[in-house]
Amino acid sequence: MEPVDTDVTGPDEHDGDAPFAGQAGGVPDGAPTLGDLLLAVEELWPESLAEGWDEVGLVAGHPAAPVTKVMFAVDPTLEVIEEAVDWGAELLITHHPLLLKGVTSVAATTPKGRAVHRLIESGTALLTVHTNGDSAVGGVSDVLADALGLQDVAPLTVAANGLPEEGIGRVGDLEDAMTLGDFAARVFGILPSVAGGVRVSGDKDGLVRRIAVCGGAGDSLFNEVRASNADVYVTADLRHHPASEAREAALNGRPYLVDVSHFASEWLWLPAAAAALGNVLADQGHDVEIQVSATNSDPWDFILTPG
């Protein structure tokens, strides 16, 4: 990301202390600007770590606008945006992009168009931290690995433009071996409650110790998982054919598979990300209130199971 110029002096931008659109009053004394926040975010989750296909960074917002409240969420859904607006957040940071594919219109006749209009009309900026948040130290998979108690953690794939410890996915070891059934119960216990629960493929009584994880959809990493000699692979959105093929290619049944909610696997990162951003801003002398969204944006509401 190029450095953001937050010195706005031209009359065409804004006049003196006039508030930005969507704000009830003038610029709060000592409040950082959105530009300041962008620099802090870049320090934690550099855009250079994003995958080539990804779209990260600022989606809506004026770099010179003041920011006193920041909300973190997984998805920029309309419900999440309303929650941020109601709380008074001037910045919403989401893991998933709002506009991943090119568009020719943001008319308010579509959900994404309504989202863009609501953000701009309320004066709420939107910033996406996606695969750069996956890859960075302390990112999505690091938080998942830490929550599971993994040690000696390393990336499954090393970032092309990052440090050796940065990249997509993580692999590490449990302090002590445990059964797959007990490990799956540990996974279930650390995740937020969602309808889909946790699906497991493998011998419930098989002992496991080396664990590979990838927050979000990770079925493109099976070669790396096998190369890591992992006993188990924890990820989300495992489709029928990749999962079936992984079972066919397994050596002595391994890696076993633990399939979790995409939303749940990435939600774990939000409190850690909020704390990390708060620490950076505090070190810079900024006082910003940061909150994690309470909205469950997992798309499923209930599940039926046999028995």
| pLDDT tens digits along 37-64 | 999 999 999 999 999 999 999 999 999 9
For position 55, which CATH number holds?
3.40.1390.30
Plot region of 183 (φ>0 → left; ψ -120 to 50 → alpha; else → beta): alpha
pLDDT of 7: 36
122 and 158 in a single domain? The answer is: no
**177-199 pLDDT, tens digit each:** 999 999 999 999 999 999 999 99
In a domain, 226, yes or no: yes
Task: Report whether 266 belongs to an annotated binding site.
Answer: yes
144 and 256 in a single domain? The answer is: yes
In a domain, 231, yes or no: yes
Task: Report whether 95 belongs to an annotated binding site.
Answer: yes
**224-275 pLDDT, tens digit each:** 999 999 999 999 999 999 999 988 988 888 999 999 999 999 999 999 999 9
d(CA 277, CA 271): 10
pLDDT at 3 over 80: no
Task: Report whether 240 belongs to an annotated binding site.
Answer: no
Name the residue with higher pLDDT: 125 or 10.
125
pLDDT at 21 over 80: no
Number of domains in the chain: 2
For residues 272 and 53, is the Cβ–Cβ distance under 8 A? Answer: no
In a domain, 17, yes or no: no
Average pLDDT score over the chain: 91
Burial class of residue 142 in the structure, from the number of CB atoms within 10 Å of its CB (0-12 exposed, 13-18 middle, 19+ buried): buried
42 and 186 in a single domain? The answer is: no
145 and 183 in a single domain? The answer is: yes
In a domain, 15, yes or no: no
Q: How confident is the model at residue 305 (pLDDT cuts 50, 70, 90)?
A: confident
Q: How confident is the model at residue 23 (pLDDT cuts 50, 70, 90)?
A: very low
Task: Report whether 286 belongs to an annotated binding site.
Answer: no
192 and 256 in a single domain? The answer is: yes
Task: Report whether 117 belongs to an annotated binding site.
Answer: no
H-helix or E-strand spanning residue 209: strand 207-217
For 190, the 3-state DSSP assignment is helix
Looking up tokens 């003041």 gives: 66
212 and 280 in a single domain? The answer is: no
108 and 208 in a single domain? The answer is: no
238 and 192 in a single domain? The answer is: yes
pLDDT at 16 over 80: no
In a domain, 11, yes or no: no
pLDDT of 12: 39
pLDDT at 69 over 70: yes
**What's the CA angle centered on 116, arms 31 and 39, to 5 degrees?**
35
58 and 86 in a single domain? The answer is: yes
**Residue 74 structural domain:** 34-133+268-292
In a domain, 152, yes or no: yes
Q: How confident is the model at residue 29 (pLDDT cuts 50, 70, 90)?
A: low
272 and 249 in a single domain? The answer is: no
In a domain, 19, yes or no: no
In a domain, 16, yes or no: no
161 and 91 in a single domain? The answer is: no
- pTM attached to this predicted model: 0.89
pLDDT of 1: 36
122 and 46 in a single domain? The answer is: yes
pLDDT of 4: 35
pLDDT of 24: 44
